[in-house]
Amino acid sequence: MKKLAERDENLKDMVLAMKKEIEELKGELAIYKVVLSNGMLFSRSKQQAMDVPKPEKFKGARSVRDVDNFL
């Protein structure tokens, strides 16, 4: 009977320790979520459309110089 009481006490202590650790991890997770969402907001606002030159339509022949100049 004494061994069962000791095991019960040990299990209760382990459960309490795990609950405490879970609460700490939930706090960290909340912080990470805020940081990531703020990072996403900033990265989206920094994105801008780039003006990229477009090559002329292909007319059947193209010189190497035109391709090199385009790149």
Distance CA 19, CA 42 (A): 35
Asked if 70 and 55 count as a contact pair (C-beta separation under 8 A), the reply is yes
Res. 63: pLDDT tops 80: no
Structural domain total, the chain:
1
User: Is 24 a member of any domain?
Assistant: yes
Asked if residue 16 is part of any domain, the answer here is: yes
Q: Is residue 18 part of a domain?
A: yes
Residue 32 placed within a domain: yes
Contact 70, 53 (CB under 8 A): yes
- pLDDT band of residue 8 (cuts 50, 70, 90) is very high
Domain membership of residue 30 (yes or no) is: yes
In the Cβ-directed half-sphere of 71, how many Cα atoms lie within 13 Å? 4
- pTM score over 0.95: no
pLDDT at 27 > cutoff 60: yes
pLDDT of 43: 59
In a domain, residue 6? The reply is: yes
Q: Is residue 51 in a domain?
A: no
Range of the domain at 24: 1-37
